[in-house]
């Protein structure tokens, strides 16, 4: 279950990062706070995040090379 949770945490982390870039004022503060908390969760999950990062990198490389499974 932690492997799947790692994927969701990574997705929400990237959403928080995009919120920092796209939002303004109080919304940006909430996005910074959420991203910080998710960063702490990533540290707590620890080694189980390797699976999530591996899956992300696999899809990123496939997208860059336009390889379809």
Q: Give the model's pLDDT for residue 29.
A: 93
Q: Give the model's pLDDT for residue 51.
A: 83
**Predicted confidence (pLDDT) at residue 1 exceeds the cutoff of 70:** no
Q: Give the model's pLDDT for residue 36.
A: 95
Q: Give the H/E segment covering residue 34.
A: helix 25-45
Read off the pLDDT of residues 58-68 as tens digits, 9 standing for 90 and up: 888 888 877 65
Read off the pLDDT of residues 14-55 as tens digits, 9 standing for 90 and up: 999 999 999 998 899 999 999 999 999 888 888 878 888 888
Query: 36: number of CA atoms within 13 Å, CB side?
Result: 6
**Predicted confidence (pLDDT) at residue 69 exceeds the cutoff of 60:** no
């Amino acid at each position: 279950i932690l492997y799947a949770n790692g994927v969701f945490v990574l997705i929400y982390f990237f959403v928080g990062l995009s919120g920092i870039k796209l939002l303004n004022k109080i919304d940006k503060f909430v996005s910074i706070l959420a991203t910080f908390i998710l960063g702490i969760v990533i540290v707590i999950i620890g080694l189980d995040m390797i699976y999530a990062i591996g899956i992300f990198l696999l899809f990123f490389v496939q997208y860059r090379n336009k390889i379809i499974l």
